[in-house]
Structure 1
Amino acid sequence: MAAHPPMAVLGAGSWGTALALVLAGNGIAVRLWGHDPAHVEALRRDGCNARYLPDAAFPDNLTPTDSLAGALAGVRDVLICVPSHAFAALIEELAPELDAGARIAWATKGLEARSGGLLHQVVQSRLPGRATAVLSGPSFAREVAAGLPTAVTIASGDRAFAADLAAAFHGGAFRPYTSTDIVGVELGGAVKNVLAVATGIADGMGLGANTRAGLITRGLAEVVRLGQALGADSRTFMGLSGVGDLILTCTDDQSRNRRLGLALGGGQELSAAVSAIGQTVESIRTAAEVHALAAEHNVEMPICEQVHAVVNQGRPAAAALESLMARAPKDEF
């Protein structure tokens, strides 16, 4: 059996590092690119990502680099793991560096910062004609790096690419499933961060398990409605990248977005909460983007709307809750 070609993982934060470790653990030569030379030098010096995943040592076949051209040279498959606000700019940088047959995948969760659209639309507009895929699902980076059992979804309109990526990642405790619903997988990965803020706020206010379960369930209904408006397969939201990721992010304190909600529900100011978390909190930007997307498609998303009001418009958390509970009764389905 021929050796798997080298792969490039772009983004040397916790998530990119964890996925690079999975690939390297499966015997694939991985080039882990980071935009910050000082951070990349620290990765080389320490033999691990001491900032985010200090207990996960790099194997010999994982090479950190701050050279984008060097990371991409001769590579067939590229996996992007940068935050959503940096996604479009990186895609533009990639264009002149990619080999003709290179395929693009991303594990970034969120919407495109400038347009508020889905990430595959950014790739299609700037790198037309290439095979594309998205990886998403219930997966905290620290647990992936530690080799704990994890299942994710890889969605692509190109079944061969999805199968190749699944084969590259499948091994040990990491199990990918394949799908063709890129829209649904992307949407689930984006909106769950907004809903995690809602459940965090409720728990920060001490509102109990009933409230948390209600927010998760009605939040899932909001994702499904938006997905239907955008042409997604509703079954996707019952899977790993939908309800699976939603439950994980809304209920475990490893989630930065849930921790933001906990802080806000406990009365902390937004800026102080973000500073204490110390990493990108995708939900602040995504809440505004989901709000705009829902308005564009005339989709009712009251929980997401109230999260947007709290994190972007300064509305008190208690007032947001009161608005939700004051809504008129209606049929569940």
Structure 2
Amino acid sequence: MKNRIGIIGGGSWGTAIAILLGKKGYEVDMWLRNESQCQEVNKSRENLKYLPGVIIPSNVNITTDIEKSSSNKDIIVLAVPTHGVRGTLKSIKEFINGDEIIVNLAKGIENGTLNRVSQIVEEEIPDIRYTVLSGPSHAEEVAKDIPTAIVAASKCKETAERVQDVFMSPKFRVYTSPDVVGVELGGSLKNVIALGAGISDGLGYGDNTKAALINRGIFEIARLGEKMGADQMSFAGLSGIGDLIVTCTSMHSRNRRAGIKIGEGMSMEEAVEAVGMVVEGIKTTKSAYELAQKMGVKMPITEEIYGVLYNGKEVKNSVINLMLRDKTHEIQDIVHKEDNDW
């Protein structure tokens, strides 16, 4: 099978995936919005703005022609931020026939609708085959062939396995999963917790604090996921705790870097400007907070980060609020379910 591939979006992650697929010998069309950037990338064969120092293979065609990047394709990769997914789908759906597989790279929840990306795709292009790729996978490392493992989740096993075959390489291992809800939520909500980990770093707190945030963060992510129908085991996997660990601890993480700036005293807007790229966790924090309220799920870390970003709460007070919450069991849900009276 030829596997004609189009990538919509030329940020760091879209470029890294283009490099990965180009090295595998596929003919890839990658769409960039900006004409001058497109010319620069074609001339240098590097994405100097988002992924400098890595050569893009010659079989990756860089273009601003969105029709060329989306028509006559077997796989279309969505490599745009979550807030741009709906508009992108509206732009390309006239060029596709419905037999393609949509592969989503975005990790976020749409503001307002509170939709995951799979739900946006279903609304805009009903019944098209869909897979989400998620897991601990910094673009900077994938592009340099540093060993990475990731999950391809789809409702259809055949679709997930097709994507697995196309994307998998000796340095890029792809697992499959049927749990689209869990994989999407894990990839999205970890960005919120990573903002908190960065804020903790910016305040000068230590490894103890960050470990607590990571651990309690996966618990509240899993609570919301369970209420929304996700498989709890997904949060123990690559798209759950795996992605959460790497995003909370690495300086490749935009969300952690933005959090550090906020912890050091910058405003949300100043922090995003300092990072210089989209920080998905900023918008997702708002959606996650609203989802938690809607579903009646306690997400104390998310609530405090929402307060810092959108209500002007003092970051040090938010940490104190978390530390002084009501006493409870560590794994309270399990204790209650088992009716353990010790």
TM-score range, shorter chain: over 0.9
SS in 1 for 2:297: coil
SS in 2 for 1:57: coil
- Aligned residue in 2 for 1:84: 82
Q: Which amino acid aligns with 1:38?
A: S
- Aligned residue in 2 for 1:58: 56
Which is further off, 244-253 or 267-276?
A: 267-276
Query: What is the Cα deviation at residue 175 of structure 1?
Result: 0.7
Query: What is the Cα deviation at residue 61 of structure 1?
Result: 0.9
- Aligned residue in 1 for 2:213: 215
Which whole-Å CA distance do the structure 2 matches of 1:227 and 1:156 have between them?
17
SS in 1 for 2:214: helix
Identity across matched positions, percent = 37
Which is further off, 220-229 or 319-328?
A: 319-328
- Aligned residue in 2 for 1:294: 292
What are structure 2's unaligned runs of at least 5 residues?
332-342
Which whole-Å CA distance do the structure 2 matches of 1:275 and 1:127 have between them?
33
SS in 2 for 1:56: coil
- Aligned residue in 2 for 1:107: 105
Which whole-Å CA distance do the structure 2 matches of 1:7 and 1:221 have between them?
37
Query: What is the Cα deviation at residue 100 of structure 1?
Result: 3.3
- Aligned residue in 2 for 1:307: 305
What are structure 1's unaligned runs of at least 5 residues?
none
- Aligned residue in 2 for 1:205: 203
Deviation beyond 3 Å, 4+ runs, structure 1? none
Query: What is the Cα deviation at residue 269 of structure 1?
Result: 2.8
SS in 1 for 2:109: coil
SS in 2 for 1:113: coil
Which whole-Å CA distance do the structure 2 matches of 1:98 and 1:41 have between them?
26
Q: Residue 231 of structure 2: which of 230, 233, 236 is its match? A: 233
Would the aligned equivalents of 1:75 and 1:99 in 2 still touch at CA under 8 Å? no
TM-score (norm 1): 0.97
Query: What is the Cα deviation at residue 56 of structure 1?
Result: 1.2
Would the aligned equivalents of 2:111 and 2:286 in 1 still touch at CA under 8 Å? no
Which is further off, 122-131 or 294-303?
A: 122-131
CA RMSD, 1 decimal: 1.1
Q: Which amino acid aligns with 1:18?
A: A
Query: What is the Cα deviation at residue 113 of structure 1?
Result: 2.9
- Aligned residue in 1 for 2:336: none
Q: Which amino acid aligns with 1:291?
A: Y
1:282 matched to 2:280? The reply is yes
Which whole-Å CA distance do the structure 2 matches of 1:271 and 1:74 have between them?
40
- Aligned residue in 2 for 1:319: 317
Query: What is the Cα deviation at residue 116 of structure 1?
Result: 1.6
- Aligned residue in 1 for 2:120: 122
Q: 1:148-159, aligned counterparts within 5 Å?
A: 148-159=146-157
Would the aligned equivalents of 1:256 and 1:277 in 2 still touch at CA under 8 Å? yes
Question: How many residues are matched?
Answer: 331
Query: What is the Cα deviation at residue 320 of structure 1?
Result: 0.8
1:270 matched to 2:268? The reply is yes
SS in 2 for 1:154: strand
Q: Which amino acid aligns with 1:122?
A: I
TM-score (norm 2): 0.94
- Aligned residue in 2 for 1:25: 23
Which whole-Å CA distance do the structure 2 matches of 1:204 and 1:23 have between them?
37
